[in-house]
Amino acid sequence: MEDLSAASYDDVVEFFRTYYQPANASLVVAGDIDPVKARAAVEKWFADVKPGTTPIGPIDYPHANLTAVAAKTIKDRVQLPRLYLTWVTPAHFAPGDAELDVLSLLLAGGKNSRLYKRLVYDLQIAQDVAAFQASKALNSEYQIVVTARPDAAVPRIKAIVDEEIAKIQGAPPDEREFRRAINQIESSFFDRMERVGNFGGVADQMNGYYFASGNPGYFSEDLGRYRALSPADITAAAARFLPLTKRVELVVEPVK
């Protein structure tokens, strides 16, 4: 809030003029189109728009660094308790990013995943569980979210989550479990390519690849990051990026 309160009207306008202008934007046209006619239409409608100046390089920023566990419990108008565990992790396309995507599937990617099976099916102390690498340009966050059942103890749930993380940090997944996760990722890749528009379709993928790599056709290289992994890579990433002693722990409890 201190940063937001300190920003003046002129600061906001200058930021908008610097970054939200044509020279810093990309346009993708996807679908059953004639490329020559589509390009001609784009030039017709946009050629007279002044490009502006391209921002100089990436901005510097304060790098997040967790040196211990930051824990907090809050109460809100919710029906069930929920546990959030969050780590600071590598940026999108950086080493470790793909490994953590695979780890997410091993932990919570379906009914046979480790956390889902143990917490939801075997012990029946959780309503649901999710794990994901929220990939971003500067740095990412890895998060595990567990919604407890009404009478379940959140500390017990957290202890079991930590047990499962420690297991995968100590021993690689077996080949069958690992291959199932890779197959899920490949299926997701091709599923997104079946849609032209909408969020996550061909147009969004091409635009995102161009923004991140300068190559709108980065699909094969992106998928190749996952196909090149081994079970040992997942264990190494879990040990390096998910320390149990350096993370944010948030518990949200119902107001009684």
**Which residue ranges form the domains of the chain, and what is each CATH number?**
2-46 (no CATH), 69-254 (3.30.830.10)
Tell me if residue 204 falls in helix, strand or coil. Answer: helix
Residues 135-146 pLDDT 10s = 998 899 999 999
Instruction: Yes or no: say if 249 and 72 are a contact pair by the CB < 8 Å rule.
Output: yes
- Signed CA dihedral, 158, 164, 169, 170: sign only: positive
Distance separating alpha carbons of residues 35 and 110, to the nearest angstrom:
41
E strand or H helix that includes residue 27: none
Residues 134-177 pLDDT 10s = 999 889 999 999 999 999 999 999 999 999 999 999 999 999 99
Distance separating alpha carbons of residues 199 and 90, to the nearest angstrom:
24
Percent of the chain residues topping a pLDDT of 90: 78
Distance separating alpha carbons of residues 193 and 211, to the nearest angstrom:
18
Measured between alpha carbons, how far is residue 112 from residues 70, 100, 160, 231, 235 in Å?
31, 18, 16, 17, 19
Q: What is the pTM of this model?
A: 0.90
pLDDT at site 198: 66
Measured between alpha carbons, how far is residue 24 from residues 39, 79, 123, 182 in Å?
19, 44, 51, 35
Tell me the helix, strand and coil percentages in the chain, rounded to 5: 45, 15, 35
Give the pLDDT mean for 222-229. Answer: 97
Adjacent-strand bridge partners of 249:
71, 85
Residues 42-69 pLDDT 10s = 999 999 999 888 887 777 888 888 999 9
CA-atom Rg of the chain in angstroms: 22
